[in-house]
Amino acid sequence: MLSTEQFKKDSFSALNNPQLRGNFKRAMSGLMQKRLAVFSDDQEFHKLREIGHSIRANALQKLPDLLQQLESNCNKNGIQVYWAETVDQANQLVLEIAQRHNAKSMVKGKSMVSEEMELNHFLEQHGIEALEADLGEYIIQVDHELPSHIIMPAIHKNKEQIAQMFHQKVEPSVFVESAEEMTAIARKVLRRKFYQADIGVSGVNFAVAETGTLCLVENEGNGRFCTTLPPVHVALMGIEKVVERLEDVPPLLSLLTRSATGQAITTYFNMITSPRKDGEKDGPKNVYLIMLDNGRTQMHSDQLLRETLLCIRCGACMNHCPVYTRIGGHAYSTTYPGPIGKILTPQMKGLHKAGYLADASSLCGACVEVCPVKIPITEILLRLRHQKEEDKGNFLLTSPKTWKAGASDLVWKGWETVFSNPEMYRLKSLGITKLGNFTPRWMPVLRNWTSVRSKPVFAKKNLHQLAREERLSYE
């Protein structure tokens, strides 16, 4: 459930869960180190991400044209293209395709758009078995959990927890301790599913407009299974995923795998351009592409917010986020956690529902420094915060929210007055240095801070006084 209260509650309980914090800290430090090792040349990184940014920005600028070009090339190649404005429409399209082919079971490779759609849940409701085939996604699906990271969905669990899960919930119900043995069990179970599945579903990492090619990046091979073995393949993509030329792919691929997991490249890079042709012996006979909006055109309409759509879903921003590392992915209760989630979710779900997520940042900017396509995440956060406060002005006067917003307005007005008037500023500094340390811990407002931290000690002399004593000249 999305609410400030729930978020605070969940963050608090995550902070008090040493196991969870340990799992995340270990994983995030590992990922940061691996990334650093493959971007050892700072100059190369800056050059490469400049290129990455430009390729994505170029695509966004030409978005309507490129989407039409992609559609027409896909059609030419035999891939059927559908458009959906909402997740409900996208789910309905998948269901109609499934029904058309009398499908009873679906296997799915990792796809964040399918998470936006909550596709598994939807299909199960309509009597179609929907199975995750990525190992991490499979583990959490069996345990009825949600992903806590966009690249490593089961990162919140440690080996012992996963071993327990296999023992209790996966045939043949044996207890094995090593990751190798657990992987072997999953391989067996999922191969049977690939063998039987009527439909394979996948995401799309890049869609190339000039050739009508869908590109998939993965290590496990489940993506290749889902897109090759079942007779029908449905690819799901957000409308921002298109790039103009095939040549745009290598730099983005390099940025993606290195930023995500510190790999020079993943095991498989899978480029799909058509269904099975006459004479070919495998591959799906029908390939469908569903392109989803779900708030993206709205983001596209604003020059700053549009930069949210540059994202290539590498997850580096969450790996480097001090907030994410401490509270973990689940506290956010959203499809996309961490910094990218804080700017994506409020725009997808609406500021009135998820705007509070924009507050869950110290604006330290670590995410901005590592982002491979240079999304100005902190600027967008600030924009959303402002927007949220402005929107509150439209609430009814009697609503407590309005009063809170009014009080916040008043505080900022006061701050503005003091900081723009030298006399007032001096008076404030004097007050704090002389009286600041006498304020009690339990004072309203201050106690929000002191309830979990020690009270700050104010210096006896302020910066101006110290500078004067040191005879520092004005800069």
Partner 1 sequence: MNSSAASRNNILTRLQQTTGVLQKDSGNFTFHEGRSFDEGKRWPAEEKVLRLKRMMEAVHTEVHLCGENTWIKTLCSVLEQKQIRKILYGAKTGLAQELGKLKQDSPEMIPELIDYKDPIEESKDLLFEIDAAITTTRGGIAETGSLILWPTPDEPRLMSLVPPIHIAVLYASDIYSTFREAMISENWSSEMPTNALLISGPSKTADIEQTLVYGIHGCKELVVLVLQ
Using rule CB under 8 A, residue 22 touches partner 1: no
The 3-state DSSP class for residue 214 equals strand
Stretch that binds partner 1, among 112-120, 127-135, 324-332, 465-473 (CB under 8 A): 127-135
- Segment interacting with partner 1 (CB under 8 A) among 46-54, 328-336, 386-394, 425-433: 46-54
Q: Is 357 in the site for partner 1 (CB under 8 A)?
A: no
Listing DSSP states for 218-238 in one string gives ESSSHHHHHHHSSSEEEEEEE
- The Cα–Cα gap between 393 and 96 comes to 43
What mask, x for binding partner 1 by CB under 8 A, covers residues 422 to 461? ----------------------------------------
Query: Binding of partner 1 at residue 54 (CB under 8 A)?
Result: yes
Using rule CB under 8 A, residue 367 touches partner 1: no
How far is Cα of residue 190 from the mean position of the Cα atoms in its chain? Answer: 26
Site string for partner 1, 237-266 (x = CB under 8 A): --x-----xxxxxxx-x-------x--xxx
The β-bridge relationship of strands 129-132 and 105-108 is: parallel
Binding status of residue 368 toward partner 1 by CB under 8 A: no
Residue 187 within binding range of partner 1, rule CB under 8 A: yes
Out of 130, 272, 323, 343, point to the residue binding partner 1 (CB under 8 A).
272
Considering only 13, 25, 30, 464, the residue that binds partner 1 (CB under 8 A) is 30
Q: Which residue type, as a one-letter code, is found at position 235?
A: A
- Comparison of 195 and 449: residue with beta carbon closer to partner 1: 195
SS3 199: strand
Question: Of the listed pieces 3-11, 188-196, 329-337, 361-369, which binds partner 1 according to CB under 8 A?
Answer: 188-196
Report d(CA 259, CA 287) in Å as an integer: 30
Residue keyed to tokens 């708030």: 295
Say whether residue 53 binds partner 1 (CB under 8 A): yes
Residue 51 touching partner 1 (CB under 8 A):
yes
306 binds partner 1 (CB under 8 A): yes
The Cα 84–Cα 290 span in angstroms is 7
What the block records as the tokens of 358 is 């924009």
Q: Residue 464: count other Cβ atoms within 10 Å of its Cβ.
A: 12
Please choose, from the candidates 251, 261, 249, 241, the residue with its C-alpha nearest in 3D space to the C-alpha of residue 316. Answer: 261
Total residues interacting with partner 1, rule: CB under 8 A: 104
Q: Report strand pairing: 199-202 vs 232-238.
A: parallel
Q: What string marks each residue from 56 to 95 as x (binds partner 1 by CB under 8 A) or -?
A: -xx-xx-xx--xx-------------xxxx---x--xx--
Closest CA to 186 of 98, 104, 107, 271: 107
Is 141 within 8 Å of 264 (Cβ atoms)? no
Tokens of residue 348, six digits: 């997808």
Q: Is 105 in the site for partner 1 (CB under 8 A)?
A: no
Q: Please report whether residue 318 would count as binding partner 1 according to CB under 8 A.
A: no
Q: What's the token pair of residue 57?
A: 């920005």
From 146-154, 314-322, 399-407, 465-473, span contacting partner 1 (CB under 8 A)? 146-154
With CB under 8 A as the contact rule, the residue among 69, 222, 319, 361 that binds partner 1 is 222
Does residue 275 interact with partner 1 by CB under 8 A?
A: yes
